[in-house]
Amino acid sequence: MAAAEETTKAKTRGSGTQKVYETLRREILAMELTPGSPLDEVRLSDRFGMSRTPVREALLRLASDTLVTTLPNRNTIVSAINFADMPHYFEALTLMYRITTRGAAARGPHAPEMMTSIRARQGEFVAAVEAQDAFAMIEANREFHVAIADLAGNPYYTGFFSRLLDEGRRILRLYYSTFEDRLPRQYVNEHEDIIAAIEAGDREQADRLAIDHAGQIVRQIQEYLAREAVQARALSLE
């Protein structure tokens, strides 16, 4: 199905791996490729119209992102979502929300150009919420918080935080997809409050808001998971 999906000829030299990496990454994070799906090197190579080598390198990069799992001498599959480690995930995520938001508040008042960048991300988030576009919402939310982390200025934190947000995207996707109707406007307001605190340089307030914001998200996802668990149990009783 669909031999070469891009009719545009091979662009520049080093772009093969990049293209495969970005495409697969997006598809995995959007849950178009469900966890456990096998990723066959030869199938991928003729889907993208290139040799196995760049495909292989893309898979290696995805593996180092823990997005795919390589079974030696067998095939590689889309990594499972690790529900068991969820509490630890939430803990780490909350910590990074706090650290980055606090850090941003310490520098916010003196970096107006970065504030406009944060505002721009927030604008995209608002647009996505109004358009009821779950994927765009998650994407914009990630970019919003990464922009805040950038303002905070610690690249080690930014890197770790980005990773966490990416890993969580699949869960968020799972979650958002269940209520496309009731739009979570509260997040928009919380983001606005965060921006205000950062701009005012109020670190304590920023910290509090980060805690609340993280708590909000964590709670909602946990409720969602609980609902799912109930449903799964109900189904298994039939």
Partner DNA sequence: TGAACACAAAGTGTCGACAATACGTGCGCG
Partner DNA sequence: CGCGCACGTATTGTCGACACTTTGTGTTCA
Would you say 123 or 155 has its CB closer to its own copies? Answer: 155
Convert residues 19-48 into a mask of x (bound to DNA by CB under 7 A) and - (unbound): -------------------xxxxx------
Q: 31, 57, 94, 160: which one contacts DNA (CB under 7 A)?
A: 57
User: What's the CA gap between 114 and 100, in Å, rounded?
Assistant: 14
CB of 196 to DNA, least distance (A): 45
205 binds, among its own copies, DNA, none (CB under 5 to 8 A by kind): none
Q: Which residues bind its own copies (CB under 8 A)?
A: 13-14, 53, 56-57, 60-61, 64, 72-73, 85, 88-89, 91-92, 95, 99, 153-157, 160, 164
Here the tokens at position 216 are 């909000």
DSSP 199-226: HHT-HHHHHHHHHHHHHHHHHHHHHHHH
Contacts of residue 98, defined as CB under 8 A and 6 or more positions apart, other chains included, come to 207, 210, 211, 214
Q: 56, 61, 107, 203: which one contacts DNA (CB under 7 A)?
A: 56
Would you say 4 or 127 has its CB closer to DNA? Answer: 4
Among the listed residues 93, 4, 96, the one whose alpha carbon sits nearest the alpha carbon of residue 51? 4
Here the tokens at position 205 are 């307030």
Judged by CB under 7 A, the chain residues 165 through 184 that form the site for DNA are none
Q: In this structure, are residues 103 and 201 in contact, taking their beta carbons and an 8 Å threshold?
A: no
Q: In this structure, are residues 78 and 35 in contact, taking their beta carbons and an 8 Å threshold?
A: yes
Asked whether position 79 contacts DNA by CB under 7 A, the answer is no
In sign, the C-alpha dihedral spanning 55, 34, 179, 138 is negative
Asked whether position 1 contacts DNA by CB under 7 A, the answer is no
CB of 206 to its own copies, least distance (A): 17
Asked whether position 15 contacts DNA by CB under 7 A, the answer is yes
